[in-house]
Amino acid sequence: MSERSENYFNQFSGYEFEPQRYRIKGKNLTSLAELLEETDPKYYPIPDISAEEKPDYSKVVSHPAYAPLYIVPGLFSYGGLHGDDGEPLIKNPGKILHTGQTLDYSNCVPLTGTDKKIYTDAKISRIDVKEEKLWIDISTITRNADASKIFCKSVMTIMVSKGGF
């Protein structure tokens, strides 16, 4: 069991992280669709092998399964939080498990190959210790630069096992 009291973790509740920037590469959008054997041409247009010009990904729509690829990598930077005692929140990142993921596309627009840079705002929406494990929910909203488009809202649940916090 951690030597920290359960109250120690309250200081992190509601913490807002710096927005994470992610660069959309059209090729990656189609690569995921290909990997999933997704045949819908809006996700995976049949490549024109006779074309000499560079492929045009502007009309490619991101498959909904693409969302974790731009949301989850932020997890690794979120682990660097420190408490008011100067100690890291996560003492051993090897003890982190990503145990749950909610993706909410309501009132969102599809991401396409024209959306070059997207930003994910994230905050800790829940943090508590249960059965000697630290549970953290990180709520995120992924948007374009001026937030005129929302692409996905999510909640990422991570569990840090004993010895990791």
Partner 1 sequence: MLQVNQSFTFIDGPITRDLIKKYAKLNNSVNLIHVDDEYAEKVGLKGVIAHGMLIYAYFIKHVNRIAEVNNAFLLNTHSQIRGMVRPGDWIITTIKVSLVAGNTISFDVEIDSKMPLELSKNGKITKTYEGKEKGWVKDKEESGIDGEETTDGILTFRRWKAIRGTAQIQLN
Pick the piece of the chain touching partner 1 (CB under 8 A) from 2-10, 47-55, 67-75, 121-129.
67-75
- Of the candidate spans 12-20, 84-92, 97-105, 131-139, the one that interacts with partner 1 by CB under 8 A turns out to be 97-105
Q: Which of 45, 55, 81, 104 binds partner 1 (CB under 8 A)?
A: 104
Neighbouring C-beta atoms of residue 38, cutoff 10 Å:
15
C-beta contacts of 46-50 below 8 A and 24+ residues apart: none
Dihedral of alpha carbons 24, 28, 30, 36, sign: negative
Task: State the DSSP code for 101.
Answer: E
97 binds partner 1 (CB under 8 A): yes
Is residue 116 a contact partner of residue 60, using CB atoms and an 8 Å limit? Answer: no
Q: Which stretch binds partner 1 (CB under 8 A): 47-55, 70-78, 81-89, 128-136?
A: 70-78
Residue count at the site for partner 1 (CB under 8 A)?
Answer: 28
For residue 23, give the nearest of 109, 103, 111 by alpha carbon.
Answer: 111
Residue with tokens 């937030």, as numbered in its chain = 147
Q: Is 150 in the site for partner 1 (CB under 8 A)?
A: no
Q: Applying CB under 8 A, which residues contact partner 1?
A: 28, 31-32, 35-38, 40, 63-65, 68-69, 72-73, 76, 94, 97-106, 157
